[in-house]
Amino acid sequence: MTESTIDFVAEVLHKFEENTGLSCFIIANKMGIETSNYYKYREGDGNPTCKTIDKILEVVLAERPEIIEQMLERELEIVRAAVDLAKSP
């Protein structure tokens, strides 16, 4: 399960980078964020604002929505397993 928002952002950026094969500079430019901040966020550092997270998700959802879909499906499976566990006697 994603432990924090910055972990989620880092995973999204890593997967987007792997999926597109684009350079960090190009991705940061597409997302409208500074390259230095992109590197921080990708490594799980920094403190992106909600506006920055929106910019990141806007690009990813427009170009590779399957990345977010797969991550959310994984999270949903974890929640379902926890609910099932809680229901067990």
| Domain spanning 5-87: CATH superfamily | lambda repressor-like DNA-binding domains (1.10.260.40)
Domain borders along the chain are 5-87
The per-residue pLDDT for range 22-72, each reduced to its tens digit, is: 999 999 999 999 999 999 999 999 999 999 999 999 999 999 999 999 998
pTM higher than 0.95: no
Please report the DSSP string for 43-60 in residue order.
Answer: TT-S---HHHHHHHHHHH
Under 8 Å between Cβ of 4 and 45: no
